[in-house]
Structures are given as structure tokens and as C-alpha cells.
Structure 1
Amino acid sequence: MHYLIILILASLGFFLLFKKFFSKNLKQLETTLSGLKKEYAESFQENLRLNRQNLDLRNNYENTIALYDITKEISKSLESATVFNNFKEQVNKYIKIGDCQFLGKEADLTDYSNYTRFPLEINKVLLGYLLADGIKEEDKLKFEILSQQFLLGVKRSILYHELQELAIRDSLTGVFNRRYYLERLNEELRRSGKFKYNFSCLMIDIDHFKKYNDRYGHLVGDAVLKEVSKRIKENIRQIDFMSRYGGEEFSVILSETDKELAKAAAERIRKAVHEEEIKVYDENLKVTISIGVSTFPEDGKDSITIIDNADTALYRAKELGRNKVVSY
């Protein structure tokens, strides 16, 4: 019996001791667990924040790359006006703006005082201004990036047209070259044939040109060519067409002009060259020209015949003593 009581008391003491120990450890575990839960919650929120930040950075990166990648869309055309229209279409995909204008460097900007201005330069030379109305502050950087893509499109357009000009212009005199002249002559033949118009062809040659080259050198010869081409151009209309046909020979197409009017125009050109000396460096040169005239359709109905007959008249003018106008 005594043993049973002792056993019960020992068990009870043992239980109380175990309970006290377990309770203490349980509190420590609960504290630790609570700390872990808090750390987990904080880590979870931080992870969410970082994911959102990464997503924002990725979106910003992709959007920025997209902004730089629209050049091919903007530059689908080689005409500046179309490039600008393509630009406006692309801008509206990325940011919201009100009015947008592209103005040349000489434009009066008084009426655009409320617009955000972006000067556009090529090789440090001001090309013009890109103006935007209603653009938000946070979108200005995007618009600036887009404006640079527009500038690339405009630069490409300008370069293309400069190359086109180089391809059709005589490098010395700046007038059209023979190849382009023949293209335009054929266009004039088709147009005049369709509408029953006259047009005339002038073949113009500088008299004794070789003498200037031999006596004064090629620099003087080049200066004479430039001045003669200048005087010819000053004495024809805007609708007329002039080219350097080769060497010291020029040709002019006088649109909608019959033979009598063509002879009068040729005489005006001859006098413009003959009556005023050409000053080249320290030399004052008396320069004359001979001109042959042919007229469509009476002197030919194709380009070869028109040119050949004007050339025949030109050589006839040479035979008659030069400094003359002769019609076929």
C-alpha cells in the first residue's frame, strides 16, 4: 500500500515537473514560430514587391526597346511628309498627346508657346522643331526617344533625295545631266503628243570653247561653263527644262513653244551670253554661243530626230560664222 502511494506521488511530481518543462519549451516554440511566421510574411511581401518591380523593369525595358524599334515603321516612306504621318501614328500607340506639328527652322513659333518643343538637328545643323501639345511630364522622355526615331526617318529621306539629285545633276554646273534630260524629253514627247502641243528643242554650244581651255587652263574653262549655264537658266521659264548635254554643249526643252517663239527665246539667250563679258579671276572674256532650234512635231516625232535636227541647225549656225540662232 505504501509503495502504491509513493508511486502515485512520484508520478504526480514527475507529471508536474514535465508539465512545467514542456510549458516553458512550448512558449519558446510558440515565440519562435511566431517569429518565423512574421519573417515569412515579410519575405513573401518583399518577394511580391520584387516581382512587381522586376515586371515593371521588364515592361519598361520592352517598351523602351519598342520605342527604338519603330524606326522601320516610321521610315516606310522616303517622303518627309509621309514619314511625319507615320511618326504620329506610332506615337499614339505609346503615349497620349494632343496636337503634334513638324515645323522648319525658319517657322514662327509664336502660336506654339504652350507646346513642348524638341529641336531636331542633323550634324549640329538645325533642321526644324517637333512640337507636341498636351504631353504629360512622365511621357516627355518617351516622346524625346520617339522624336529621335523620327529624325532618323527624316535624315534617311533627305539623304535619299540628295542622292537622287546627285544622280540627275551635272556636278559642275548644277543643271540636269544628259541621262535625266533624255528621260524628261521622252515624257515631254508623250505629253505633247497626247494634248497636241508644240515644244521646241535648243541645242547650244559655246563657240571656240577649246581656246579658253588651252589658253587659260581648265579652271577658267570650268568657270565659263558655269557662267554660261547660269545665263541660260536665267533666260528660260520655270516650266522649261535645261541640261548639260555634254562637254561645252547644253540643251533646253521649251514646253508648249512653237518655232517662232523658240527662235525668240534662243535669241534672248544668245544676247545674254554675248552682250556681257564673263569675268573669270583676272580675265574678262568675250564669250559667244551658237544655237540650233527644232520643233515638235514638224521637225520630228521622236527624241532622236528632234535632237539630231536641232544639232543639224546648230552646225549650220557654226558654218554661218557662229554667235547665231538657226532653226531647222
Structure 2
Amino acid sequence: MNRRYSNLMLILGIILFLNSLRFFNLTLSNEVVFWIAVLSAVIMDLSLLYIGELKVEFTETITVFIYLFFGVYVAIVFEFIYTLLGSVLSYFIIKRKFEFSRHLLNASMFSLITFLSGNFVNYIRMNIRVPYITTLIISALLFDFVFLVLNIIFITIDKTLEDKEFFSIKNFDLDIILINLIVSTVLSVILYVIYGAIGLSGLILVFGVLIITHYVFYLYNKLNFKAVLIKKLLNATEDIIKYGDLKEKSDHLLLNLKEIIPYEIASLYFFDSKNDETSFPISYYSSYPIDIGDLSIDLKSGVTFKVVSKGSIYVSKNIKKDSNIKITGRLFTLIDAAVFVPIKIDNDIRGLIFIGGKSNLVDFLSQDTNDILNILSRQMSLALLNYDYMSAIKKEAETDALTGLNNRRVFDKEINNLVKLNNRFSLVIYDIDDFKKVNDTYGHLVGDAVLKHVANIVKRSVRKTDIVCRYGGEEIVILFKDLSKEDAYIISERIRKQIEFSQVFVFGRVVKITVSGGVASFPEDGKTSKEIIEKADEILYSECKNKGKNRVCMYPNMV
């Protein structure tokens, strides 16, 4: 929330509350009514539901009743106390996230809304002359209507200032809000009439009915909420089945996931936990600028992966205080909460769906959504299993016998297809430094061992959707689908360092191996596959081989 806006709201709300306490002079019986009302509102608050961005519940029914019976100042005290008390109890009972400053701000905002609503209705009541019961109904209807409208206005201002773009009223479910208005108005009038006619026992009975009504409404909307999610999930599942390429499946999953889950950053990983050391996402989406290096996962010693490897969905409601995970770099500053959804095949962890967001992500996940995430996980497991099966069929005809990498024919087919479809990609051409010297000194068998050693490091360091090929001789090329030049450079440089610090033993001695690499991208560096390859090759030799080797450079001359 915008700091100036929140500070102003906080100051006004607290001043209103303190001023209203001066008018809080109730008889003993009326105090009993007041605290029963607070207790009822807190009970209802424990089963809330968010409709769009608006918290929908029937607690304003009680606020309207308090206003009708005691006046606007007691209603302000009620709204302030119940909001804070409900937040504290929800933290201890259902472990809902508690931020004192935020809840104090909410209490202040609702106190201000109550003040404005009550005084508006007071003005109307002073200027109309209608029968008593009609005045009562009009007062309840107007108070609740203004209360809801101001609630929407304040939320719109809050979200607009926070996101720095206009927050549309379309985000609110107006049909449900209308139902809420009608039911709350009717029930608040009933509360008022019954208390006046029967007394405290009748009021308690109606409060009980109100709590039950609220809970039924909550269950109804929860089922409706689930139905909408399942419909969107079916669309996501359809796309997973429809698109054949694993990268396309992953991209469409994250795109559809945005329609289901309010995330800020999401990424999808596939890996072999027995061999991989570092995993980069094969697909990711972020509302903020972020590079792929900030989304890498350490699969060997990483604290986070130890949590993932247990095979269960893990939700971190506060990443900054959660010792079970370790999120660093720019990602740490962009999100407050995260969820990790493992992708399993035969009980082996073969991938991960990572979702990061703000407090609204925690609110969403608290609404029993694990089954949705589990279904998505299983669908991606099937997609990965199918990909592995198809890859195994193609492998024999398309594999280089020495290194186990894809052969030149695969590379030509893939790059030409990407250019034809005008799909963005980057590539790096690696050349083993001083490879001829290794062959001349130790023989071709050792040279073959070095080539296989480098190929193995490259294979286990790339994403599952990247294409790794033996391009010719001692050259290895990686084709990064839908990856920027900068992200391709980050991965390529990390691979270069892994090769530099690896060890190859020959006749009891360690042979130092390094590589140089040239990175180029389509379409910014060329319009044809030939042009892209030439640019990568050009930068490889002009800026890497001729200037010290053991380095990766991007075209044009950028290191």
C-alpha cells in the first residue's frame, strides 16, 4: 500500500476510534449485547471468502444492527475492536497470516467507512418524513450500500496506488455483492426488531441463525470458487495434451496458471535429481524484470531442494522468516510467499512448479487448493513421461555415438524449424581450448575421453528443453528455446566455470580442460540460421580464442 495513503488512513481511523470511545456509555444489558455482537462477528470472520478483491461476509449485518440500535460512534468502536480481535484469533486458531500494522490499518479503514456511512444516513434520516419502520429499512439499506461502495472505493485506491495502474471494478463480483447487500439489510432489520420485541434471548437466537446463514453462504461460494478453478484447470489440462513440444506445454501451463493462481513469479523445472547439480527453469513468467540466474536451484546442497525432495507440496507463507527454504538475490526482494509443487514419476522427483507471490497468494492457498496443484503436477508428470518415451524412440537415429549428444542433423532440423516459425531462441557454440594439443600429447583415446567429459557436464547443466548437439570435432552447441541472449549467456558462463573447475585424470595426472563459447540470438543477430551460427562463431574466435580463451562472449562484442 502507498505509504502516505496508509499513514493518512491509519491516523484518521485511530482518531475516530479514540473520539468514539467518549460516547461509549452503555448500560450493562447493552454492553452484553455489544460483546455478543463482537463475538458473533469474530466467529463469522473465521470463515471468510474473498470474492475478487473484496472480503465477503455478513459481519456488516451486525455493524448495521449496532448502528441502528446504538448509533454511529458505538458502531465505529465495534468495527475497530472486532477487526483487530478477529485478526488475532484467526492467527492462533487457523494460522492465518498476521501482520499487526496491516490489521490495525484495516481496523482504521473500516472505522472510517463506518463513520462516513453512518453520518451520511443520519443526514438522510433528518431530511425525510416517513413511517418508523420505513425509516428503519431505508437506514439499514443505505448504510449497508454506502458501506460496501466505500469498501470497493478504498480497495480500488489501494490497489491502484500499489500496482501503479488503474484497478478496474470488473475485479469485483457485483452479483454476489448485491446478494450480500440484500441479505445483510434484511437480517440487520430483523435483529433490531427482535431485540426490541423479545429481548436478549431472541437476539442470541437470531445471531445464531446469522452465523449459520453466513457459514452456508461461505460453503456455497467456496463450492462455486472450486467449480471455477476446475473449469480453468480443464483448460490447462487441454493445452498440456494439445501441445506436443515440452517447452510449449510448459509455457502454456504457466500462462493458464496465471488465470488460476494470483502469482507474481512462476517457473517450471525438469531434472534428474541423481545427476543434476543446478537446474534452470525451462519456462518462467515474472511480473518484474528478473534473469534466469536468480531462478536457478541447487540440486546437490541446496536447502530448498531438500524440502522439495520430500515429495509433498510445500507452502512458505513468509519466505523471509522460513528457515526450511533459502531464497536469495532479486527473487528474495520480489515475493513474500512461495509454494513448491514437486513433479513425480514413480516416486522420483523429476521436476518442480515454483510459484511466488504476495499476501494474496497466501489468501488463495488457504482456500483448500492443494488438490488443484496436485492435479496440475500429475498432468505435467504425464507430459514429462510422454516426452521421455518419445525421446527414447528418436534417440538411436539422432545420437552422436561418442558423446551421447544429439548429432548435427538434429541441430540443423531444430534451428531451421525455429527460424521458420519465427520463434525466439539463442545458441552458444563451445570449442574445447587447445584440444589439438591434448590429442597430440596424450593420444586420441584421451581426446575422446575429454570430449565425453565435457559433453556430460553440458548435458546435466542445461534445461530439459534445450537442444545439445555435437556440432563437429571438438565443438558442442546448445540451442536455447525461447531464451534471451542475456539468460543464455548466464547459463553458458556457468557451464564454462563448471568445466574449468572439473577434473580429468589421465595416467594419474590431472589434465586442465577449458572451453570458450560464443553466444548469438534470433532474430536480433540474424534472420537466418546460417547468420546466427556465423555470428556465434565469429564472436567465439575474435573475442574468446584470440583474447586468452576460457571465456564466453555475446555477439556483438559483450563479455
If the length of structure 1 is used for normalisation, what is the TM-score?
A: 0.48
Structure number, greater radius of gyration: 1
Q: Name the structure, 1 or 2, with higher relative contact order (CA <8 Å, separation 6+).
A: 1
